[in-house]
Homo-oligomer: A and B are copies of this chain.
Amino acid sequence: MGLRWAVSPTDRSVMREEFRADLAQVSRTLVMMAEAVQVAMRRATEALLKADQTEAEQVTDRDAEIDALYRIVEDKVYDVVARQAPVASDLRVVLTALHIAGDMERMGDLADHVAKSVLRRHPAPVIAPELTGVLERMGEVADLLASKIVTALNNLDAVAAAQLERDDDAMDDLHRRLLKTIMSPDWQHGVESAVDTALLGRFYERYADHAVNVGRHVVFLVTGENAA
């Protein structure tokens, strides 16, 4: 595999090869985590659009798995650092995996928040009919962002990672549209529904923000330099 983290090429020893193998293992866990948070938000959105209790419960049940993956990344990173004692620049790159895992853990939490909001109102739907389209689009953008994270981590592709920023703009636009709708004088669904919807909007927006953070960290992981 020609893929490389941005580790410094100072030493070609056996330890160096071990170090690379360790990093590849960390990457694989990060990919698993990215796939899990993608599935979580995809299912949460489906549960939301269909007011589907079973689907929502699956999301909340499986949030612990994402948290467990976070711990695995943390343990592996600590183990690598302790065994390999990397030089300062390598260390910084390795520890970036913790930031990535931390952001993804939050993305999992946000999918869980969406699912809990569905469960709280069930069997009533959380979202007003005129907002189904906007929420569906928000779910699609979230899914796109997560799938780009999976690709960027799988291929250690800094270019793909840097693109996440642009897709986040689409989420911001949708979020603005959502807020405009619930705050318009035509809103017919009362305060409770408006508040629930505003919070849901925030969950998707924060999910996208964390995805952008992951993108920036992946750029650093691959290039050793911060994204502009």
Name A residues whose Cβ lies closer than 8 Å to a Cβ of B.
78-79, 81-82, 85-88, 91-92, 95, 98, 102, 179, 182-183, 187, 190-192, 194-195, 198-199, 202
The reply to whether A85 and B88 contact each other, CB–CB distance below 8 Å, is: no
Chain B residues with CB under 8 Å of A194's CB are: 191, 194-195
A198 to B183, CA, bound (A): 13
- Contacts A82-B87, A183-B192, A198-B198 aside, 4 further interface pairs with beta carbons under 8 A come to A79-B88, A191-B191, A195-B198, A199-B202
How many whole Å from A24's CB to the nearest CB in chain B?
21
What's the Cα separation between A192 and B194 when bound, in Å? 9
> CA of A191 to CA of B196 in the docked complex: distance in angstroms?
11
With both beta carbons as reference points, the residue of chain B lying nearest to A95 in the complex is identified as: B78
Nearest CB in chain B: distance from A38 CB, A: 23
Q: Are B91 and A78 in contact (CB under 8 A)?
A: yes
Chain B residues lying within 8 Å of A82, measured Cβ to Cβ, are: 86-88, 91
List 10 contacting pairs A-B, 8 Å CB cutoff, sorted by A. Answer: A78-B95, A79-B88, A81-B91, A82-B86, A102-B102, A179-B195, A182-B191, A187-B191, A194-B194, A195-B195
Q: Chain B residues near A91: list those with CB within 8 A.
A: 78, 81-82
> Considering the chains assembled together, what is the distance between the CA atoms of A87 and B78 in angstroms?
10
Residue of B nearest to A77 (CB): B95
Q: Write the chain B residue with the least CB distance to A202.
A: B199
Residues in B neighbouring A190, C-beta threshold 8 A: 191
Q: How far is the CB of A23 from chain B (nearest CB, A)?
A: 17
Bound CA–CA A85/B83 (angstroms):
9
CB distance from A87 to the nearest CB of B (A): 6
Find the B residue at minimum CB distance from A91.
B82
The residues of B that contact A199 with a CB separation of less than 8 Å are 198-199, 202
Bound CA–CA A88/B78 (angstroms): 7
Closest 8 interchain pairs by CB? A82-B88, A85-B85, A195-B198, A191-B194, A183-B192, A82-B91, A78-B92, A194-B195
**How far apart are A82's CB and chain B's nearest CB, in angstroms?**
4
Residue of B nearest to A191 (CB): B194
- A92: nearest residue on chain B (CB-CB)? B78
